[in-house]
Chain A
């Protein structure tokens, strides 16, 4: 869905460098999520946010930092990239609880750490 966009689409970096992946949604959804996708592991939750300035850890938060100063943006930063962080990263958003729990995913960022 065009309402949630990720950038960059592809990124190659080196071990030890800081990398920031961007996520922007235009629906004013309350909830936003970051997942990483690796073969054999499916989609693993890194961090999520219930609203601006509210974030919480997911299943695999180590090595990542998030912020949410505005409702529409949810950047993910790898402070010192490692090879194990080579993955496809998906951002997602949802309205929240009740009848509107459907996740809308971005198109993903393929990150390679050399």
Chain B
């Protein structure tokens, strides 16, 4: 069936280090891949997204890469800061406008 797998489920880094979260998707027709950040007790919010016609996209310390052949995409956070601590969700668009999310990665950035 349609699914998105996300790894790792938890990630602990020191402040200033880089963090990488990886996702794989099953539907080869998927063409939109957003990433959402959810701080404790808050609603998820979009931080970056990428479309299937692009291999990489950057926004300051955040970047996303997409490998359509392998059906996987990754979130890269450089120079991590304590405020990056949150749960991160990847997602893939299935069909016309249905977003399926991964199980989430809890990122902890230690000062």
Contact = CB atoms under 8 A, between A and B. Distances in A.
B98 A42 contact: no
B101 interface: yes
Contacts of A101: 32, 34, 49, 93, 97
A43 B46 contact: no
A65 interface: no
B97 A90 contact: no
Interface string A79-114: 000000000001000101100011101111000000
B61 interface: no
A59 B97 contact: no
A101 B97 CA distance: 8
Contact of B6 (A35, A42, A45, A59): A42
B9 to A, nearest CB: 8
A35 B43 CA distance: 12
A108 B89 contact: no
A90 B43 contact: yes
Nearest to B3: A59
A94 B103 contact: no
A58 interface: yes
Contacts of A56: 98
Interface of B: 2, 6, 9, 32, 34, 36, 43-46, 49, 89, 91, 93, 96-104
